[in-house]
Chain A
Amino acid sequence: MNVLSPLQWMFYLAALLAIVASLKVITGKNSVHSLLYLVVSLLAVAVCFYLMGAPFAAGLEVIVYAGAILVLFVFAIMMFGLGKDETLNAPKITSFRVWIGPSVIAALLLAQLVYVIDSPDIQDKLTSNVINAKQVGALLYGPYLLAVEIASFLLLAGLIAGYHFAKPTGYHDNNNSGGW
């Protein structure tokens, strides 16, 4: 059993944080708190991606997943009319222990990221096996071009379905036989 390198320690710590945050997501009582833990879980997985030598995927994870998809969740939760049934038994938003969990995990991830960027030893190991965005882009618009076009159809279908389903009922006054 050889000793673990600092890079491996960082990876296992980020993996542990991702698992803990994911467990808190599925065991949560308040949906906003679970959403916070989901954001932290995605950030931890992004740190894992960075340590695996995929900084492009790590950036996409932060920007698209944690930045766009989770904001969609937040908008939907706001439209659900929060506070009717499930926030009554939850602790108040001003209490200390509501935000202490996600912020501790996020602070650990930040400390990890600073350490990884600051340490020249880890950077040497990382730059030797990195797959950069240029390779991904060349592959994406070369052999995988058909998959990209199919994905664009998928996004178009998601757009149309989202528009159709999220339309308030009775928006069209005639022939509104009601939806789904």
Chain B
Amino acid sequence: MSVIPLEHILILASILFVIGFVGVIVRKNTLYILMSLEVMLNAVGVAFIGAGSVWQQADGQVMFILILTLAAAEVAVGLALLLQMQTRFKSLDIDLLSKLKG
């Protein structure tokens, strides 16, 4: 049994997730949107690790490793797309992407 109650861990995870979500919604710089996505993924990791430590199961950490893999792949693709955006539009404003067709 963990010393820290599960409710507080989940509250921490929710606060971090909401901070990241607000960042994704509010910011117009695409780089900040990617960083806020990292904060959100991190919050999900907190929830998994906390649940795993409360129930004394290693499954939570396995899920955290999979989230880590997902974050690495997402950042690689996202930053490469941002490089394309910078060379094409000379800006990182997300509103410029509304001109895309298709």
CB distance from A84 to the nearest CB of B (A): 8
- Does residue B77 face the partner (Cβ distance < 8 Å to A)? yes
With A19-B19, A158-B76 known as contacts, the answer to whether A140 contacts B53 (CB < 8 A) is: no
Q: Is the CB of A26 within 8 A of B19?
A: yes
Q: Is the CB of B32 within 8 A of A31?
A: yes
| Segment of A89-97, A107-115, A162-170 engaged in the interface with chain B | A162-170
CB distance from B101 to the nearest CB of A (A): 12
How big is chain B's contact interface, by range? 35 or more
Q: Is the CB of A38 within 8 A of B52?
A: no
Interface majority SS (helix, strand, loop, mixed), chain B: helix
Interface majority SS (helix, strand, loop, mixed), chain A: helix
Cross-interface CB contact of B16 among A5, A19, A159, cutoff 8 Å: A19
With A11-B4, A53-B2, A54-B52 known as contacts, the answer to whether A34 contacts B73 (CB < 8 A) is: no
- Residues in A neighbouring B9, C-beta threshold 8 A: 52
- Residues in B neighbouring A81, C-beta threshold 8 A: 86
Q: Report how many A-B pairs have Cβ atoms within 8 Å.
A: 183
Bitwise interface map of B from 29 to 56 toward A, beta carbon under 8 Å scored 1, else 0: 1011011101100100110011011001
Q: Is the CB of B39 within 8 A of A31?
A: no
Of A5, A73, A168, which is in contact with the most chain B CB atoms at under 10 Å from its CB?
A73
Q: Is the CB of B75 within 8 A of A131?
A: no
Cross-interface CB contact of A157 among B36, B52, B73, B80, cutoff 8 Å: B73
Residues of A1-28 contacting chain B, CB below 8 A: 5, 7-8, 11-12, 15, 18-19, 22-23, 25-26, 28
Complex CA gap A81/B82 in Å reads 12
Chain A residue total in the interface (Cβ 8 A): 69
Q: Is the CB of A38 within 8 A of B80?
A: no
- Does residue B15 face the partner (Cβ distance < 8 Å to A)? yes
- Does residue B22 face the partner (Cβ distance < 8 Å to A)? yes
Q: Is the CB of B53 within 8 A of A80?
A: no
Q: Is the CB of A26 within 8 A of B39?
A: yes
Cross-interface CB contact of A8 among B3, B42, B49, B52, cutoff 8 Å: B3
Known: A77-B31, A80-B82, A165-B84. 16 other contacts (CB 8 A): A12-B8, A22-B20, A25-B36, A26-B35, A48-B12, A48-B46, A64-B68, A65-B38, A65-B42, A135-B58, A139-B62, A151-B66, A158-B77, A162-B79, A166-B83, A168-B87
Sampled A-B contacts (12; CB under 8 Å): A45-B42, A54-B52, A65-B68, A79-B86, A80-B83, A86-B29, A129-B56, A131-B52, A136-B58, A154-B70, A157-B73, A164-B80
